[in-house]
Amino acid sequence: MEQERRYIAVDLGAESGRVMSGTVGGKKVGLEEVYRFSNGPIKEGASLRWDFDKLFSEVTSGIVKAIKRSDGEVSGIGVDSWGVDYGLLGGDGWLLEKPYHYRDNRTDGMLEKAFQLMAKRDIYENSGVQFMQINTVYQLLSMRLTRPEVLARAKKLIFMADLVSYRLCGRAYAEYSLASTSGLMDMRTGQWSKGIFEKFGLPMNIMPEVVQPGTIVGELKSELCEEFGCKPINIIAVGSHDTADAVAAVPAQSERWAYLSSGTWSLMGVEAPKAIINGNSLKYSFTNEGGVENTIRFLKNITGLWLVQECRRQWQREGVDLSYVDLSAMAEKAEAFAGYIDPDYSGFLSPGDMPARVNNFLAETGQKIINDKGQMARLILESLAFKYRSVAEAIEDITGEAIEILHIVGGGMRNELLCQFTANAIGKKVIAGPIEATATGNVLMQAKAAGQIKSLGELRGIVRDSFELKEYRPQDSKLWDERYEKIKSR
């Protein structure tokens, strides 16, 4: 490997964003957070939106800091974000309006309307994507049905991370892994699905060209170079979907492994050489999303630590400010198996009073309601662990291969109680790390685009050599197995 080079990773999450400075050299990757900012929806009338201008301003503030930190010697900038959300550009190349947030309620009932236009099995055969009302395809269907005049003015649709890159370099494109979350792509071909666009009456001409992760898409605009005080810098389409970068950075070797990218959402799956689209994958509601280096992320989207996050926010509104560390410690002391919820219950999707919603679920399913905060946190964590087991079993059924190891990456691995519960529930070894998997994958995919790294195997070897990993072994297996069987029999 050649001498050390420096890259800037812009990692945008639904709660916060950060700009990381990364170095690659000597078979090691190093990361430094240089700027962090809050992110989240804003209310505009009855709608939930993203304030993209503010978001971009925060991104550029971070990039300036990172450039100064590196004395101007930067080999690339890569941007990743959550999936499904997008901005619509008008003829002047600027946004027609603030992008919608995926939790906006305009997609309520859109799945049912979609099934009237195209049979459920046909939709899945054309897209290979899990049915979730937040998917881009249902957002666009809602817009066609309720605000067609805005859609008619659109000249280009760009997904969120690529929208930031567009503002940085001026090129409109759709990076494959991010585009694949939309439900608008034929995952067998990696191109837009003509069948979906025709059946739903959506304008295919607004979709940009698809580019592969690890593509140099342009250079930082000259006016931004002048503003930032830097030389031209390559803008690189990494895995524009944060989970694609996170999975790229899974420190796996040759064993049969699955991954769990843990955060607000939990994304659990396996890496496959091609899309798996059949009756079994439809039955279990699995999705096929693009990965790096010609791979498919065959996975299931699971509501993750969003449930704990929303409980914490509600308790803060009530005047009780508990840290996640506090809640984890309280949960560890609470009674085991006091109840069970389905984390993917539709009533948990929107922001609001999550403790009340959890108790509503418990009451409606004949279980005791919970008033103790630590007990509620434990119930949520146990329920997530059992959900992971059911997904692991589904993966094994669909693929016909046993999972030997589960790799947990991302910020959710900081919750060591959840990691241990997961090992207990699935009955398999869990390896946690790295925490900064998304930023790590972002930086290393830039290094691959720049020619520093030759293969995905080499990239993962660098991850193993660069970070300390933590191992969890199953405990109390009999108790967890008995509880799981009771849940399944309901």
The predicted model gives 326-334 an average pLDDT of: 98
Q: Percentage of the chain surpassing pLDDT 90?
A: 97
pLDDT (tens digit, 9 = 90+) per residue, 183-202? 999 999 999 999 999 999 99
pTM: 0.93
Active site amino acids: 242
- What would the pLDDT profile of 337-350 be if each residue is shown by its tens digit? 999 999 999 999 98
Average pLDDT over residues 401-412: 96
Identify the pLDDT of residue 374: 98
Mean pLDDT of 465-476: 97
Amino acid 254: pLDDT: 74
Domains annotated for the chain, with CATH where assigned, are: 5-237 (3.30.420.40), 250-433+454-490 (3.30.420.40)
Q: Closest Cα partner for 474 from 428, 436, 442, 410? A: 428
**15 has pLDDT over 90:** no
Predicted pLDDT of residue 1: 47
* φ and ψ at residue 98, rounded to 5 degrees: -65, 135
Determine which helix (DSSP H) or strand (DSSP E) holds 447, and give its type and residue range.
Answer: helix 437-449
Q: Which two tokens stand for residue 181?
A: 């979350």
- Determine the pLDDT at residue 255: 75
**What's the whole-number average pLDDT of the chain?**
96
For 280-340, list the strands marked E by DSSP. 287-290, 296-303
Question: For residue 293, which phi and psi values (nearest 5 degrees)?
Answer: 55, 50
- The percent of residues above 70 in pLDDT, for the chain, comes to 100
> Which tokens sit at 129?
């994507």
pLDDT of the residue at 40: 92
DSSP assignment of 126-148 equals HH-----TTSHHHHHHHHHHH-H
How far, in Å, CA of 121 to CA of 339, rounded? 34
